[in-house]
Chains A and B, each alone.
Chain A
Amino acid sequence: MNLLSISFKNLRYKALDTALVIFLLSFGVGIISLMILLQGQITSKFDRNIKDIDFVLAAKGSPIQSILANIYHVDVPTGNIPVADAKRIIRNPMVEDAIPLAYGDNYEKYRIVGTNDHYPNHYGCTFAEGRMFEKPFEVTIGSEVARQTGMKVGSTFTSMHGYDNAATSDPEAHHDHSPFVVVGVFSPSGSVIDQLILTPVESVWLVHEHGTETAAGAAEAAVDSTLAAQAPEREMTAYLIKKRNKGAFGMLSKQVENTTMQLANVAVENSRLMNNFGLGLSVITAIAGVIMVLSFISIFISLLNSMKERKYELALMRTMGASPFRLFSLIIVEGMLLVLLGVLVGLLLSRTGLLILSSAMQDEFHYQVNQLAPTGMELLLVAGTLFIGLVASVIPAIRAMRVDISKTLSNG
């Protein structure tokens, strides 16, 4: 018999009250912890994908869209740009490196991106198997692609037209004459490369020339018409640009003026994006905060009520020799037990939520947020919750300590 077992039995005895308090608290803790996990993982994922890329040179349109499409690969691109025009910009000595991206096809929703070895090297990718793509129709695939599709070195596949529409039944969307062959698989890098299929730019151009030659369906023809009309003028979806020195943005922007292209400043667009995203998180966190406050009030009221109900029991324990401080401790332990259970259930909830979200994001964007280990911010949340729980228990505990045994027992 000890404080913990008595407290536990008391909580079990009024299971409904206990469940309500734990439910409220775990909900508050769960949502806040989920926000902490999401924000941390998404920002770190975004940061890893930006990794020293300063500008995105792409077709005119929404600059945020051009970042989302070309850096994170979660949106469709703004269009195509003529290689000849782009070359004039990237030859500028202010440009240290320009990684070409040409895409428009997918395999099982994974984008097939025409590029060169600068792209994977930029993210420090290493090989789990095989080698880098070299010739047209050779591909090196990201770790997620390999895991989800089961492809390995030597596997072949044909691409689908579009960015992420694997489920289409339209046979015309299928480029069945151009089989790709996997020559390598990257190790997981935590970057966007994990979810991409990389191939030389020429593959992408060849697939579409072939596609138009065979006079495929109207849908494809419409999308490819610009390419067909302007062939042999080559087109690219975007260039990821690393600058050589400060002030490059102003200079290059000037050069881009009066073309069909636009230069998006990654840092500026990204902070705009994060502000919007952060605002959403703040609103949800504020709601969770309100739930937390309610749950603390419910802990307070529940302890106070249970103390009133059990006044006679507490007086009884005093007559049997329990000191006032022991009764104080009993209520505190009960309160802390409630908070601890609430926090544990909350952390479990946030993990469950994260896994559900992760699989949803996996389907939608091939993004995973599945790091379940508690973070520093979460430890802070747990410590804060325990502390406020303690504060909420103190007043009922003091009242328990001050129970007038004689008065209580003579009224009993």
Chain B
Amino acid sequence: MLQTRNLKFTYHHGPSFEFPDVHCGNAEQLLILGESGKGKTTLLHLLSGMLKPSSGEVSLNGEVTTSMSNKELDRFRGQNMGIVFQTAHFVKSLSVLENMMLAPYCSGKTATKRHALEALERLNIGEKANNSVYSLSVGEQQRVAIARAVFHRPTLLLADEPTSALDDRHASEVMHLLEEQSKEIGSSLIIVTHDQRMKDRYNNRIVL
């Protein structure tokens, strides 16, 4: 369960944001909708602990992440969250499978190559496991990114604008995959987007 209270963030010499409290129960799905410049990405970074708020707190599964040290936070994030970014990014020098294995290596969670391969199979990309990531199409890359975010079974799956670069068909496919995968592993799913196409998929939503 994710809960925030009175989150505020001010950029150095920049805009300042005040966010409504966010609540997302276990295995629930939440859409955070907002125009550009409303601080969507800022909020996602606050939720994932990549940024520390000026005031307020974030807690996940009863642990207050905002009071952790950077190192604890990196570890906590790696173990409990999976993040899918707007454009998929990888370590260029590594293959698809190696990029997958980088996640458990970084978080210290145990996951075997078999787990990684199974996750790729579920997303119909198993046959590309040994390819270079940059030989894949954008859609395939996004699927690998989803597989990477879910296969170590995080309790919270965060997606930052996962569909904004995609056409309707791919957008709904990606949304479908995110929903399906988070259900499969029983994690909460929070999607941050400005994509109005997504609005009607969710009852549970916050508009910034």
Number of A-B contacts defined by CB within 8 Å: 81
B103 CB within 8 Å of chain A: yes
A324 touches B70 (CB 8 A): yes
A6 within 8 Å of B (CB atoms): yes
Q: Which of B41, B75, B106 contacts A317 (CB 8 A)?
A: B106
Assembly CA distance A321 to B109 (angstroms): 10
A320 and B106 contacting across the interface, CB-CB below 8 Å: yes
**Distance in angstroms between the alpha carbons of A316 and B106 in the assembled complex:** 10
Does B163 make an interface contact (CB < 8 A)?
Answer: no
Flag if B90 contacts A320 (CB, 8 Å).
no
Stretch at the interface among A8-16, A58-66, A217-225: A8-16
Contact B45 A410 (CB under 8 A): yes
> What's the nearest-Cβ distance from chain B to residue A41, in Å?
43
A361 within 8 A of partner (CB): no
* Interchain CB contact under 8 A, B102 and A319: no
- What is the 8 Å Cβ interface bit string for chain B, positions 53-76, against chain A (1 contact, 0 not)? 000000000000000001100110
Closest to B52 in A: A406
Please tell me if A95 contacts chain B, counting CB pairs below 8 Å: no
Assembly CA distance A318 to B72 (angstroms): 11
Known: A320-B78, A321-B78, A412-B87. A313 touches B107 (CB 8 A): no
CB-based contact B98/A321 at 8 Å: no
Q: Shortest CB–CB separation between residue A211 and chain B, in angstroms?
A: 75
Contact partners of A319 in chain B: CB under 8 A: 48, 50, 77-78, 83
| A321:B106 contact, CB within 8 angstroms | yes
- Indicate the size class of the contact surface on chain B: 20 to 34
Within 8 Å by CB of A320, from B87, B92, B93, B103, lies B103
Judge whether A6 and B91 touch: CB under 8 Å. Answer: yes
A379 at the interface (CB under 8 A from B): no
Taking the complex as formed, is B101 at the interface, i.e. its CB lies under 8 A from any CB of chain A? yes
Minimum C-beta distance from B19 to chain A (A)? 15
Most chain A CB atoms below 10 A, which of B83, B105, B108, B109: B105
Residues of A within 8 A of B94 (CB): 6, 9
Which of B79, B85, B101 meets A321, CB within 8 Å? Answer: B79
**B78: chain A residues within 8 A (beta carbon):** 319-322
Q: How far is the CA of A316 from the CA of B78 in the complex (A)?
A: 11
Q: How far is the CA of A10 from the CA of B45 in the complex (A)?
A: 28
Question: A232 to nearest B CB, angstroms?
Answer: 85
Q: Would you call A74 an interface residue if the criterion is a C-beta within 8 Å of the partner chain's C-beta atoms? A: no
- Which B-chain residue is minimally distant from A14 (CB atoms)? B93
Whether, in the assembled complex, B207 has its beta carbon less than 8 Å from a beta carbon of chain A, the answer is no
Q: Does A248 contact B (CB under 8 A)?
A: no
Q: Which residues of B contact A410 (CB under 8 A)?
A: 41-42, 45
A323 CB within 8 Å of chain B: yes
User: How long is the Cα–Cα vector from A405 to B45 in the complex, in angstroms?
Assistant: 9
Nearest residue, chain B, Cβ from A9 = B93
A283 within 8 A of partner (CB): no
Tell me the residues in window 15-70 of chain B with beta carbons closer than 8 Å to chain A beta carbons: 41-42, 45, 48, 50-51, 70
Q: How far is the CA of A14 from the CA of B48 in the complex (A)?
A: 32
Q: Mark B108-119, 1 if CB is under 8 A from A, else 0.
A: 110000000000
Q: Which residues of B contact A406 (CB under 8 A)?
A: 45, 50-51
Give A2 to B98 CA distance when docked, in angstroms: 11
A110 interfacial contact with B, CB 8 Å: no
* Complex Cα–Cα for A100 and B98 (A): 76
Contact of B93 among A1, A12, A323, A405 (CB under 8 A): A12
A312 touches B89 (CB 8 A): yes
Contact partners of B41 in chain A: CB under 8 A? 410
For A320, the closest partner residue in chain B by CB is B106
Residues in B with CB closer than 8 Å to A6 are 91, 93-94, 102
Contacts of A321 in B (CB 8 A): 74-75, 77-79, 103, 106-109
Contact A10 B51 (CB under 8 A): no
Q: Interface 1/0s, chain A 351-372, versus B by CB < 8 A? A: 0000000000000000000000
4 more contacts with CB within 8 A, not counting A313-B91, A318-B74, are A1-B105, A323-B74, A324-B70, A412-B87
A-B contacts, 17 listed (Cβ < 8 Å)? A1-B105, A9-B93, A13-B92, A13-B93, A310-B91, A312-B89, A316-B90, A317-B91, A317-B106, A318-B50, A319-B48, A319-B50, A321-B79, A321-B108, A322-B74, A322-B78, A409-B50
The 3 closest A-B pairs by CB, nearest first: A321-B78, A321-B107, A13-B93
